[in-house]
Amino acid sequence: MQMKTILVVDDEPKIVKLVRDYLERAGFGVRTAADGKSALALARLDKPDLMILDLGLPQMDGLDVTRELRKVSNVPVIMLTGRSEESDKLIGLELGADDYMTKPFSPKELVARVRAVFRRIENAVNTNQEILRVAGLTLDVPRMRVSAEDREIEELTPTEFSLLAEMTRYPGRVFTRAQLLNAVHGVAFESYERAIDAHVKNIRRKIEPNPPEPRILLTVYGVGYKLTDR
């Protein structure tokens, strides 16, 4: 199996060294960048398998990097942030980040989250359910592609696709946010449940004809979400 390459972007050398050491020990290849512009250039040139991205970067912050990156790539992104504001985390997720960790963080947990992202991508590719169809949607699971009737949907990030696929397999079933977090992570993280709301907002923007009035991915107030079975 080809070694996965991870681009680590942070302007704190101690953090870069710590993350690099743990990732290389876990069997990953690592490239690094210390500012937003260099990160974008490396991402476009090297096409890493995943990016670990600090929000507080010089020249171009992590939110702007994510915004620009999502115009050309759906590479998984795990954000690192020293910011405690809830809004910053939600903005990053709504821009298309797959996960986030708040500094100071456990490097072992970071490696676990990296593995969880790769595991759900591999599970999608290796699943026996190659085609899922419900509510006018068709999910080509191995290729991680979605279409609605004759319209090709903008590519979803790995996390967005995993969430949609999980609900598509059980149309009409109501999922709590905790159940959806467990489905996409596959490990017991104390994750921020409102992250699911940000991912759902992104999915609706891509699959719904009128996102403010969803008819496919529905909110069940006080509980969570479900995919319509009609």
- Do 195 and 181 touch, CB atoms closer than 8 A? yes
> What's the domain count of the chain?
2
| Dist. CA 82–CA 191, nearest whole Å | 16
| Dist. CA 38–CA 18, nearest whole Å | 20
| pLDDT tens, residue by residue, 80-132 | 887 666 667 777 777 888 888 888 889 999 998 898 888 777 765 555 557 88
Q: Are residues 55 and 163 in the same domain?
A: no
pLDDT for 203 equals 92
Q: Are residues 151 and 132 in the same domain?
A: yes
Q: Are residues 108 and 9 in the same domain?
A: yes
Q: Closest Cα to residue 38, out of 1, 65, 20?
A: 65
Q: 76, 104, 121: which is the final residue of a domain?
A: 121
- Range of 120-129, 178-187, 195-204 with top mean pLDDT: 195-204
Q: Closest Cα to residue 207, out of 155, 169, 162, 170?
A: 155
> Across all residues in the chain, what is the average pLDDT?
85
* Phi-psi region at 144: left, alpha or beta (left = phi > 0; alpha = psi -120 to 50): left
| Dist. CA 141–CA 126, nearest whole Å | 9
Q: Are residues 40 and 113 in the same domain?
A: yes
| pLDDT tens, residue by residue, 132-181 | 888 888 888 877 888 887 788 877 888 888 889 889 888 899 998 888 88
Q: What is the DSSP string of 76-94?
A: -EEEEE----HHHHHHHHH
| Dist. CA 153–CA 81, nearest whole Å | 31
Structure tokens at 224: 């969570």
Which helix (H) or strand (E) covers residue 198, if one does? helix 194-207
User: Which amino acid, one-letter code, is at 6?
Assistant: I
| pLDDT tens, residue by residue, 10-69 | 999 999 999 999 999 999 999 999 999 999 999 999 999 999 999 888 889 888 999 899
pLDDT for 187 equals 44
Top-confidence residue, 189 or 195: 195
Q: Are residues 169 and 202 in the same domain?
A: yes
pLDDT for 189 equals 46
Q: Are residues 43 and 58 in the same domain?
A: yes
Nearest 5°: phi and psi at 150?
Answer: -100, 10
Q: Are residues 16 and 108 in the same domain?
A: yes
Of 102-106, 142-146, 183-187, 210-214, minimum mean pLDDT range: 183-187
Q: Are residues 102 and 21 in the same domain?
A: yes
pLDDT for 170 equals 87
pLDDT for 152 equals 83
Q: Are residues 169 and 221 in the same domain?
A: yes
Q: What is the largest CA-CA distance in the chain?
A: 53
pLDDT for 186 equals 52
Q: 95, 121, 147: which is the final residue of a domain?
A: 121
CATH of the domain at 90: 3.40.50.2300
Q: Are residues 143 and 192 in the same domain?
A: yes
Q: Are residues 22 and 115 in the same domain?
A: yes
Q: Are residues 88 and 152 in the same domain?
A: no
pLDDT for 192 equals 62
pTM above 0.75, yes or no: no
Identify the domain containing residue 32 by its residue range: 5-121
Q: 121, 144, 177: which is the final residue of a domain?
A: 121
